[in-house]
């Protein structure tokens, strides 16, 4: 069975964006060393635009062939006129308000997101599923998340968008690897405790 991996960037205090969802404070931390890590380990998590900009659009996917994201995350691309921000993967967008997909590569899921993700997980594939965000979608899918890859940036926001927007329910994970970069970024992995 395929894994759903929540691959997310956050502040030290666990926010994935400011109160309005803006995460641009994290961009300066994608320096040469950290980008080399992303390129080597998770190239498909770089948007199609970012891949073209950095000259890596021909890199094959290493871990994921499908991305799941919420409407808020997807809107960041739409505002720039990009209808398929991860065109190198199958794209699933969870939205109750977007009724029609603006791109043939993007599937809109308006009801039973958990059921759709379970279908994706049951597919026969050598690749896993990348949960891109945002907080509401992660909260809805918290019980389906098999792995966390948390890129913690060395900033404190004090308030903002949490990693999971959900009710209080404890979900246990087991610590995996930890990698620290010269710019202060720490990448930690966790697997769901079974």
Supply the pLDDT for residue 21. 82
Supply the pLDDT for residue 37. 97
* β-strand partners of 186: 152, 180
Determine the average pLDDT of the residues in 25-45: 95
Give CA–CA dist 154/54, Å, rounded: 24
Supply the pLDDT for residue 167. 75
User: Which strand (E) or helix (H) includes residue 75?
Assistant: helix 71-78
DSSP letter (8 states) at residue 79: T
Give CA–CA dist 136/133, Å, rounded: 8
What are the tens digits of pLDDT across the range 49-64? 999 999 999 999 999 9
Supply the pLDDT for residue 166. 78
pLDDT beyond 90 at 19: no
DSSP letter (8 states) at residue 52: H
pLDDT beyond 90 at 137: yes
pLDDT beyond 80 at 168: no
Cβ atoms of residues 38 and 192 within 8 Å: no
Residue closest to 133 by CA, chosen among 120, 116, 148: 148
Q: What is the CATH number of the domain that holds 114?
A: 3.40.430.10
Give CA–CA dist 100/29, Å, rounded: 35
Print the domain residue range for 46. Answer: 4-192
Q: How confident is the model at residue 169 (pLDDT cuts 50, 70, 90)?
A: confident
What are the tens digits of pLDDT across the range 117-127? 999 999 999 99
The residue with greater pLDDT, 76 or 39, is: 39
Give CA–CA dist 96/102, Å, rounded: 15
Give CA–CA dist 86/185, Å, rounded: 24
Where b means 16+ CB within 10 Å and e means fewer, 4-22 reads: bbbbbbbbeeebbbbeebe
Supply the pLDDT for residue 113. 97
What are the tens digits of pLDDT across the range 92-105? 999 999 989 999 99
**Number of compact structural domains in the chain:** 1
Supply the pLDDT for residue 63. 98
User: Which strand (E) or helix (H) includes residue 77?
Assistant: helix 71-78
Supply the pLDDT for residue 71. 93
Cβ atoms of residues 45 and 64 within 8 Å: yes
Supply the pLDDT for residue 194. 85
Supply the pLDDT for residue 101. 95
């Amino acid at each position: 069975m395929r894994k759903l991996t929540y691959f997310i960037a956050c502040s030290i205090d666990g926010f994935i964006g400011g109160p309005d969802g803006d995460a641009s404070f994290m961009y300066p931390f994608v320096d040469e060393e950290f980008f080399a890590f992303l390129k080597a380990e998770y190239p498909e998590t770089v948007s199609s635009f970012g891949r073209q900009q950095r000259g890596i659009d021909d890199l094959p996917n290493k871990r994921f062939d499908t991305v799941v994201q919420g409407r808020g995350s997807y809107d960041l691309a739409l505002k720039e006129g990009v209808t398929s921000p991860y065109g190198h993967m199958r794209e699933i967008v969870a939205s109750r308000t977007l009724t029609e997909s603006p791109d043939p590569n993007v599937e809109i899921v308006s009801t039973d997101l958990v059921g759709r993700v379970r279908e994706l997980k049951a597919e026969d594939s050598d690749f896993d599923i990348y949960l891109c965000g945002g907080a509401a979608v992660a909260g809805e899918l918290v019980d389906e998340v098999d792995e966390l890859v948390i890129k913690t940036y060395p900033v404190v926001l004090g308030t903002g968008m949490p990693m999971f927007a959900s009710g209080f329910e404890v979900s246990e994970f087991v610590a995996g690897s930890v990698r620290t970069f010269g710019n202060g970024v720490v990448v930690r992995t966790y697997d769901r405790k079974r």
